[in-house]
Amino acid sequence: MRLLTIATCLVLALSGAVAMAADSKAQVAEEKAQVLEQKAASSPDAPPAPKYQAITKTEVQAVDPAGAAALDDAITCLARSIYWESKGGKSADMEAVANVVMNRVGHEGFPDSVCGVVKQGSEKGACQFSWWCDGRSDDVQEEVRYTLAKEIARKALNKQLPDRTGGALYFHDRRVRPDWSKTFARTAQTSEFLFYKPRNGASH
């Protein structure tokens, strides 16, 4: 009986240590992401983050592991936006969504934070990203795709993700033709989306 009690205590202690380590990694990742988004807002053309400043693969995966956390940090906001906007799309579609979000950060007419960009317009009921205002649960349903979304978010924040959109600030599903698209210059396309930027460089 005593051995069973000791074994149980050891398992609980080990589980607690693992959880604490994961929480520590998540906190480090969120702090790095805050610095990186500030850098992206003030210096859009800055080079990739140096190794000591870059978010690692293990750190980013420790953030929001269940895909159900509140959207209040750059990694979660970006990963969830990539996940929901490109639902069912290929990795190229997911990367392009990340590009648009990061292109908007700090650009004139857009907020200077990832969460600000993702949530923009919600106060007026006119969200820039439809998933944020559709009234449905924003919790993740597919673990594998969300893991990929977080990895793409990591690369985007680290500035290790090439911009496959040509500097786009807007995009839409290929199956629709919004009126606003006629006033912008198309910059790129993926299997799911068409991408645009203003002809004169200003935001819409």
**Quick check: is 191 in a domain?**
no
**Quick check: is 84 in a domain?**
yes
pTM confidence score: 0.87
Q: Name 189's bridge partners.
A: 194
Task: For residue 149, give its domain range.
Answer: 2-44+64-163
| pLDDT digits 0-9 by tens, 106-146 | 899 899 999 999 999 877 667 888 888 887 888 999 999 99
Would you say 195 and 100 are in contact if contact means Cβ atoms under 8 Å apart?
A: yes
Residues of the chain above pLDDT 70, percent = 87
151 vs 44 pLDDT, higher one: 151
Rounded-to-integer distance, Cα 63 and Cα 156, Å: 15
**Quick check: is 59 in a domain?**
no
**Quick check: is 58 in a domain?**
no
Q: What is the bridge-based pairing of β-strands 184-189 and 170-173?
A: unpaired
**Quick check: is 13 in a domain?**
yes
The pLDDT value given to residue 201: 61
**Quick check: is 9 in a domain?**
yes
The pLDDT value given to residue 135: 77
Total domain count for the chain? 1
The pLDDT value given to residue 2: 60
**Quick check: is 182 in a domain?**
no
* Distance set, CA 122 to CA 4, 62, 116, 134 (Å): 54, 28, 10, 10
Q: What are phi and psi of 79, to 5 degrees?
A: -65, -40
**Quick check: is 106 in a domain?**
yes
